Amino acid sequence: MIKYITLADLKKIPGSYFINPPSGPELKRSLRGISIDTRSLKTNQVFWALKGPRFDGHDFIINALKSGSAAIVINKSHAHRVSAMGAPVLVVRDSLKALHKFAAMYRRKFKIPVLAITGTNGKTTTKEMIAWILQQKFNVHRTWGNHNNHIGVPLTLLALNSSHDASIVEMGTNHPGEIAMLCAITKPTAGLITNIGRGHLEYFSDIEGVAREKMDLFRCLGSRGVIFLNCDDPRLPSFSGRKKTLWSYGLTNIKKAKVKGRLLGLNPDGTAVWQLNEKVKINMGVPGIHNVQNALAASAVALHFGFSENEIKDILESFTAYDKRMQIVNNGQNLIINDSYNANPDSFLAALATLEHIAKQKNSRKIIVIGDMLELGLTSEALHQELMFNLLEYNVNGIFTLGPATALGAELLRERGYQKIYSFSSHEDLGTALSKFIGPDDIILLKGSRGMQMEKVLAFI
């Protein structure tokens, strides 16, 4: 019988107490996880009321009861609102801190490998590639989507159950100390840092600050922890890995790599062909050389779990692009590279290289639709200007920008004589103008930070 969270587990949160307390068999009844949103709350789930920047979950307690919540967790300051309710209500001092404590307690019930993944770019795709491989032999629990922050990670852990053989937890950060805090909750047995890049500079000041934060993942591993080390990133190999199992991998710095990759070439559609450990040739199903790096990282993890190179080849070749990450969309006339999930200066360069290759093979015009790169702080203006000048090197046929930062960079290009650049403040205005500009066989790259929601432009083309 598969075991999930129970009300008896909830009762163990320090300093908590029940209103309308459950008793007997009800305490041991398995619950189907935690929800913080009444719109997606399912019957027999616990509704955990959290106060956010826009909404307070305590305002939706009645909705949770109507949706069939098995129990509710609330802050002590709201206890007076629930005395007449029939469902068990767990009262805690601070519902967010209680969520962290409970997730940490619950995770320790499972004696399984837990791999934590962080990095500036490629976290989610690498996680999905690893899960795609491992699930062929194991029941794999993983972060759903991009729920990788101080709320998403504990919720991910609370979805574990006794049927799982391994867990893959994605960790994001935009403030110093977050990786260490998430590791304290997760207690990973293994860690993988995809790369160190220029992301969230508003909070980390410079790339060295990013590196220090990401490296906390390796530092948090115990003496028996397993490190998957990207030898191609110059800011990572300085980590010695003493007293830890080290699986190093690399495409360019292969002398130091235990798991070696070799790029053999690119297909006309931008997908890569590469060789793993000089044994098998792998044809990727997702475009971009950067996805070879992601696949190599996934291969190192798979080899650690006992997969052979031939097994990895067969499984990776069936992997397809994850949501809004280098997805190829064909609308009948145009090929669209939908890489709209997120953006920073380094991920933009990888996407541009893929666009350039595909356009050259098809002899097509290149159109770039770019939204602001957010959370770059004092470096934002300079990095957006740098990006604009990079675009010119690719000899693009049209640039459409959304947001004030890209508009400022666009103005700089206009002052230097580049005319085919158009700036907008709404998706609708941009999409309308873009639909009139593009012609048959044009290739369009769609990219911007998550907050810009650049995928909305797809509706117009």
Is residue 14 very low, low, confident or very high in pLDDT (cuts 50, 70, 90)?
Answer: very high
Is residue 83 very low, low, confident or very high in pLDDT (cuts 50, 70, 90)?
Answer: low
In sequence order, which ranges of 76-186 are alpha helices (DSSP H)?
95-107, 123-134, 152-157, 178-186
Residue 239 has pLDDT above 60, yes or no: no
- In terms of Cβ atoms closer than 10 Å to its own Cβ (0-12, 13-18, 19+), residue 230 is buried
User: Residue 33: its pLDDT value, please?
Assistant: 86
Could you tell me whether strands 166-170 and 114-118 are parallel, antiparallel, or unpaired per DSSP bridges?
Answer: parallel
Is residue 256 very low, low, confident or very high in pLDDT (cuts 50, 70, 90)?
Answer: confident
Helix (H) or strand (E) holding 353: helix 345-362
Residue 94 has pLDDT above 60, yes or no: yes
Instruction: Specify the range with the lowest mean pLDDT, choosing from 281-285, 414-418, 420-424.
Output: 414-418
Residue 391 has pLDDT above 60, yes or no: yes
Mean pLDDT of 393-421: 91
pLDDT digits 0-9 by tens, 112-132: 999 999 998 889 999 999 999
Residue 106 has pLDDT above 90, yes or no: yes
Closest CA to 398 of 460, 342, 445: 445
Could you tell me whether strands 71-75 and 46-48 are parallel, antiparallel, or unpaired per DSSP bridges?
Answer: parallel
Cα–Cα dist 180/167, whole Å: 18
User: Residue 84: its pLDDT value, please?
Assistant: 63
CATH 3.40.605.10 is held by the domain 5-93: no
User: Residue 126: its pLDDT value, please?
Assistant: 96
Mean pLDDT of 175-197: 94
Is residue 247 very low, low, confident or very high in pLDDT (cuts 50, 70, 90)?
Answer: very high
Cα–Cα dist 119/96, whole Å: 25
Q: Which two tokens stand for residue 376?
A: 């770059």
Q: Which CATH architecture has domain 327-460?
A: Alpha-Beta Complex (3.90)
| Residue 382, number of CB atoms within 10 A of its CB | 12
Cα–Cα dist 276/360, whole Å: 27
Instruction: Specify the range with the lowest mean pLDDT, choosing from 61-65, 157-161, 303-307.
Output: 61-65
User: Residue 343: its pLDDT value, please?
Assistant: 84
Mean pLDDT of 346-358: 87
User: Residue 438: its pLDDT value, please?
Assistant: 93
Instruction: Specify the range with the lowest mean pLDDT, choosing from 282-291, 353-362, 448-457.
Output: 353-362
Which pTM value belongs to this model?
A: 0.84
| Residue 298, number of CB atoms within 10 A of its CB | 27
Do 266 and 357 form a contact (C-beta atoms < 8 A)?
A: yes
Sequence spans of domains, the chain: 5-93, 110-316, 327-460
Q: Which CATH architecture has domain 110-316?
A: 3-Layer(aba) Sandwich (3.40)
Please provide the average confidence, as pLDDT, over all residues in the chain: 89
Is residue 104 very low, low, confident or very high in pLDDT (cuts 50, 70, 90)?
Answer: very high
